[in-house]
Amino acid sequence: MISNGYVVTPETEGHLDIGIRDGRIVELIEPGSQHEARRHIDAAGLQVLPGGVEAHAHILEPAHRGWTKGEEVWLQGPEGSSRAAAFGGTTTIASFAFLGVHDENTDDPVAAVERRRALFDRKSYVDYTFHPGVVGNPSDALLANIDRAVGAGIPTFKAFTTCVTTAQEGVKMDDGPMLDFMGELSAAGGMLLVHAECDELVTHMEAKLKRENRDQWYNLHLVHSSTSEELAFQKVCRLARENGTAVYFVHVTGESGARVIAQARAAGQPIYGEVLHNYLCFTAEDYKQPDGGKIQTYPALKTESDREALWKGLIDGTLTTVATDEYTTDYATKVGGRTVETACGGHAGIETRGVITYTEGVVGGALSLRAFVDVFSTRPAKVLGLYPRKGAIAVGSDADIVLWDPRVERSITMDDLHHDGDYSIWEGWDCTGWPVTTLVRGEVVVEDGRLVGSLDHGQWLPRWLDRTVLDGPGV
């Protein structure tokens, strides 16, 4: 029983006690009621929130060798990622199973996910699920296997409209194959996750800056530009309209991308957008710091007006979720690439996603507490096909619960963090509000800032998308 806490969901908030049995919430009752329980957790003075849902995390992947000077570097594994997630109040992680990268069989997404499940088994403190990722154009065999994968609880697939940098060949999906891919996903009840940039513009600008000796990392926004994002988003939305395909744009970076999403949603398309918490706090001007490359995530940071537009989109519902694009390497790898071609993408963010969004959003006055819960937990659960099992405090839902202390004030140091990396872009960031206790399916994983959970507790989650998500902008 969790007692005396202030329970917050997107729909309501107030003092309630929560009864938990066999990993599920079994009752919500007025505080002070008489009830027996094997264990009581006193949440007096704390906010009681549904556990966070991270929609976009790269875990136990080989880092791109163009970013590592040809050396083999692996991203943080499930133990470190799930530990950081639990300390950050996140109880569910969606990672990837890239066909041909994580699995030698490029045609069978079910087999790829099964192999990833084996690597995560008994190595995660929190629950997890996977998006199959398609590198390049899909084969006929892969297209034929989509329906079986969606039926097996694997409904979200990632693709690219760009190779991201010229050092990565064969990554992008061409327009015709993309249309076929969308058609199969739509027919099966699946959704496309897409990294959308105009590959021709990216390639052109990268080559141009090299010729002009302007290819330093702090010019990344000139290569991965707002124009590139706008053109790619427009094309993807137009292709998706052919078959009514649901699309989730990962890492939206600015006003033009958000505007395209808003227009598509207004027209009734099932289009969703994700913003990363570093995009809400930094701009391309921050690249000019001596180690400014450490804040790079592809696509690049944009302008102050773009940053403000992302907040606006999050507030008005144009953007659906706050995620991280988690990609944890060591500091030397992260800042080793000094050009627009070799700058390493991503960073450790899964633990700070909540505290940064809470501080800048709730404390900063941009988001209500309910709206924070929505973008941190409930909306990602809905768009991924996990709601109401996840992302809710309701009878029958998993008891994934985080106790949040709004009184905590601290400037982030590495001692506050629990990932396997040796740096954080958030060191020195002043925060108000902090997760102190995290439960995953009723089991306490982090208690009063101490790790008490077991690595064998996390489970794989099959998912099925609701028709409200697939048939229109239902989230």
pLDDT of res. 167: 72
pLDDT of res. 102: 60
CA distance 401 to 382: 17
Structure-derived torsion over alpha carbons of residues 412, 417, 341, 336, reported in degrees to the nearest 10: 90
Per DSSP, 60 falls in state S
pLDDT of res. 106: 80
Residue 12 backbone dihedrals phi, psi, to 5 degrees: -155, 165
- Is 423:331 a contact under the CB 8 Å cutoff? yes
CA distance 157 to 98: 9
pLDDT of res. 251: 99
The domain spans of the chain are 52-392+462-471
pLDDT at residue 187 greater than cutoff 70: yes
pLDDT of res. 388: 99
pLDDT of res. 183: 98
pLDDT at residue 308 greater than cutoff 90: yes
pLDDT at residue 258 greater than cutoff 70: yes
Ranges 91-95, 163-167, 430-434, 456-460: which has the least confidence: 163-167
pLDDT at residue 39 greater than cutoff 90: yes
CA distance 311 to 318: 10
pLDDT at residue 169 greater than cutoff 90: no
| CATH architecture group of domain 52-392+462-471 | Alpha-Beta Barrel (3.20)
Residue 374 backbone dihedrals phi, psi, to 5 degrees: -60, -50
Mean pLDDT of 323-345: 95
pLDDT at residue 434 greater than cutoff 90: yes
pLDDT of res. 32: 80
Residue 389 backbone dihedrals phi, psi, to 5 degrees: -60, -45
189 CB neighbour count, 10 Å cutoff = 19
pLDDT of res. 104: 60
pLDDT of res. 168: 79
Confidence of residue 165 (pLDDT cuts 50, 70, 90): confident
pLDDT for 101-111, tens place per residue? 666 668 999 99
pLDDT for 108-156, tens place per residue? 999 999 999 999 999 999 999 999 999 999 999 999 999 999 999 999 9
pLDDT of res. 166: 78
- Is 204:244 a contact under the CB 8 Å cutoff? no
**Residue ranges of E strands in 293-400:** 321-323, 326-327
Mean pLDDT of 24-53: 93
pLDDT at residue 65 greater than cutoff 90: no
Q: Which residues pair with 274 in a beta bridge?
A: 321
How much of the chain, in percent, has pLDDT values that exceed 90?
A: 93
- Structure pTM? 0.97
